[in-house]
Structure 1
């Protein structure tokens, strides 16, 4: 890992692309500029939700995660496009290549945002001019807008980039947090979700200032170590480095889907579990990962959500094992009420090469069956001169590249590594 010089006060940028998917589409087709535009999957089905939208659409009330029917009601002239993930990935790769040409300290955190450490860059005009020039270069070369936060640490840089959109450059120093940060409602703090905000409000924490001044023992009792972390960040304390190697980290792989209609049909629910597990298996194979915990998420018709997990005695990486555990959790926890959404997540991941193979009778028999299948494939390859399954596998890969479900934001990071 690259090491930073500790003697200098750090200067961190958070680069946040504005309405990224919509902006890429507008750069690709300038006729879309100025129109209320949204990117959404499955426009014909209820499960279709808004992934992102242009500022013109947002001005009419269209928001991310909003159902398409609701967005159309608010904005009848809304233009909706299906996601084009290869297009977004290509644009993101160019952005991060450009950032990597400025400094080796680049940490992508998703397809449309990342941190860079420019502490040791001697730039004429200083960090603020550098931020403006980065912003202008990305806009001029790719026709994509971004906002940049400048701060002494990652948390403050992230908060700063959110303060002015689009095309903002915002400085947030520790001495500024009383005027710029503490006045914000608690739910606007990065790292505080709706559930955490609800818990904090019960303690009388309404603003980030309230959190910064709250007794640390009370916060730890409520939120565990995360309470301590949030209090530190509310006070402008964040010692995390910009880590170029953080792109390697992944802790879970999940897949979820909303059903076309709320249902209690077990056959339909089990079929969906198989599909979700198949998605997870494919991604685990690609990452050469194995999991030791399986989590099931059930969201009911009234949006009440329950998550349950089970730790396993051995690592798994196949669909059958994922489904087996998911069904067990389902049968133990389903209330019988209509279900709106199911999700499965493989957790406690490890890389295969770091885990010794664990063979019991079940996995031994399974490996034998795989060996038999591989032998048949080898025979067919010898007979026909090529593997007859390659075409089918490539088609599946192509389809999943165009229409991935829940993993694209994280999976692109691995592709970014390959481009470096």
Structure 2
């Protein structure tokens, strides 16, 4: 039996969550979702990339990941709000909690989207669920729309219930894509937005998916899409009917096989409920001003130090160690460069991370044939550790032994002080009450 897979995706998550928070704090303020607005930080601090946009902003041609300055040229009255990851985390948890109230067969793939396997929910009593979980739900005229949607066949009625509960309880909307596998469910959720349910089953692929631009195929990156257009493949349907052998010859075996099978709608129907441990720890920041050869000595070390300490704190919290230090930089023309090095002993110590990161960055930027020789400016810096372990196989260093020795000395001194106090108290009692007044225990 084919499975029924949902892909639930928050509409313009960061912007929606920012809008909901503002409305909660001030119900009279303008809803960011109804005006040209973006989430993108503060232009002055150079955290100026569009991370989310409203539908009105989209009409101006504003794109995700473009610089704020560019977006404001397209729309001078554009409202820009800063990122608020604390709020995002709160709303994300609430969003996932609602999804889990329907099924535990859930795979969260990002902060604002998840796959659900709802195959077994065909006979779920949606009316009872909503009465229990949505205080305002009732069979009153004001709920006529949801009551009508609940009369539709499974799984459309289930998707309607999920959308209604999230919209009513949390104040933002989601799209639900429905299919028999994760790929098609994901594709369906990206159809018309916001607050919509779309299906994309195998018998709908030719009419709903094949006419789409090849760049809309999930997993087809910009470079791959450009290469496909270069050989005359402009739509998903053209990729689906192209000779798979020729596709592999143009894209390589792995990519060619993926494009061909995905364009024909084949994908996994397994919703993975397990959470994988982190495979690396990293942090990066956009600099407040470009780092050049002139200000490198004064501006780079504090940035790398702060990033190293952040990575170290998270690793110590999780009690893990890393054996490979890595760095990355992004240039003023948005090109990314990275370097990494294996260290002698895995670590989560901020000083060790910092020292090795500075060596890597120094070689990349100021070494022979370094980027600074080409006059390149740096606008983003990142530090990370991977090849993780739990510390079981760490080889003791001189510093480890020094720390152990110092701890032993402290313990010995504490014991000596304690014994001196006990001896003094014993002597005082004997002087006052006689030698037989106190005896040592064994």
- Change beyond 3 A, Cα 1:370–1:281: farther
Q: Secondary structure, in 3 states, of the residue corresponding to 2:371?
A: coil
User: Distance between the aligned counterparts of 1:371 and 1:92, measured in 2?
Assistant: 47
Cα deviation 1:108-130 (Å, max 9, x = unaligned) = 11111111110111247311111
Q: Structure 1 residue aligned with 2:258, among 205, 211, 229?
A: 229
- Confirm or deny that 1:32 pairs with 2:30: yes
Q: Secondary structure, in 3 states, of the residue corresponding to 1:292?
A: strand
Q: Secondary structure, in 3 states, of the residue corresponding to 1:89?
A: helix
Alpha-carbon shift at residue 367 of structure 1 (Å): 6.7
- Confirm or deny that 1:146 pairs with 2:198: no
Q: Secondary structure, in 3 states, of the residue corresponding to 1:22?
A: helix
Q: Structure 2 residue aligned with 1:327, among 345, 351, 358?
A: 358
1:15-414 equivalences in 2 (<5 Å) = 15-28=8-21, 29=23, 30=27, 31-33=29-31, 34-123=34-123, 125-212=153-240, 213-216=242-245, 219=248, 222-223=251-252, 225-239=254-268, 241-245=270-274, 247-262=275-290, 263-264=292-293, 265-267=295-297, 268-312=299-343, 314-333=345-364, 334-336=370-372, 337-346=375-384, 348-350=386-388, 352=390, 356-361=392-397, 364-366=398-400, 368-369=402-403
User: Distance between the aligned counterparts of 2:279 and 2:101, measured in 1?
Assistant: 29
RMSD (CA atoms): 3.1
Q: Secondary structure, in 3 states, of the residue corresponding to 1:248?
A: coil
Alpha-carbon shift at residue 157 of structure 1 (Å): 0.8
Q: In structure 2, list runs of 5 or more residues that go unmatched.
A: 125-152, 365-369, 414-442
Q: In structure 1, list runs of 5 or more residues that go unmatched.
A: 1-7, 380-420
TM score, norm. by length of structure 1: 0.77
Single out whichever of 96-105 and 48-57 deviates more from structure 2: 48-57
User: Distance between the aligned counterparts of 1:223 and 1:375, measured in 2?
Assistant: 63
User: Distance between the aligned counterparts of 1:205 and 1:317, measured in 2?
Assistant: 48
User: Distance between the aligned counterparts of 2:276 and 2:347, measured in 1?
Assistant: 20
User: Distance between the aligned counterparts of 1:243 and 1:147, measured in 2?
Assistant: 21
Alpha-carbon shift at residue 321 of structure 1 (Å): 3.2
Contact 2:320 2:389 in 1 (8 A): yes
User: Distance between the aligned counterparts of 1:164 and 1:332, measured in 2?
Assistant: 48
Contact 2:326 2:340 in 1 (8 A): yes
User: Distance between the aligned counterparts of 2:96 and 2:195, measured in 1?
Assistant: 18
Contact 1:47 1:258 in 2 (8 A): yes
User: Distance between the aligned counterparts of 1:345 and 1:224, measured in 2?
Assistant: 33
User: Distance between the aligned counterparts of 2:47 and 2:74, measured in 1?
Assistant: 18
- Change beyond 3 A, Cα 1:87–1:351: same
User: Distance between the aligned counterparts of 2:338 and 2:168, measured in 1?
Assistant: 46
- Change beyond 3 A, Cα 1:204–1:277: farther
- Change beyond 3 A, Cα 1:51–1:203: same
Alpha-carbon shift at residue 312 of structure 1 (Å): 4.6
Alpha-carbon shift at residue 191 of structure 1 (Å): 1.8
Cα deviation 1:262-288 (Å, max 9, x = unaligned) = 323332233322222222222223333
- Change beyond 3 A, Cα 1:220–1:349: farther
User: Distance between the aligned counterparts of 1:306 and 1:155, measured in 2?
Assistant: 31
Q: Secondary structure, in 3 states, of the residue corresponding to 1:309?
A: strand
- Change beyond 3 A, Cα 1:183–1:252: farther
Number of corresponding residues: 367
Q: Which has the higher contact order (CA 8 A, sep 6+)?
A: 1
TM score, norm. by length of structure 2: 0.73
Structure number with larger C-alpha Rg: 2
User: Distance between the aligned counterparts of 2:353 and 2:266, measured in 1?
Assistant: 40
Alpha-carbon shift at residue 223 of structure 1 (Å): 4.7
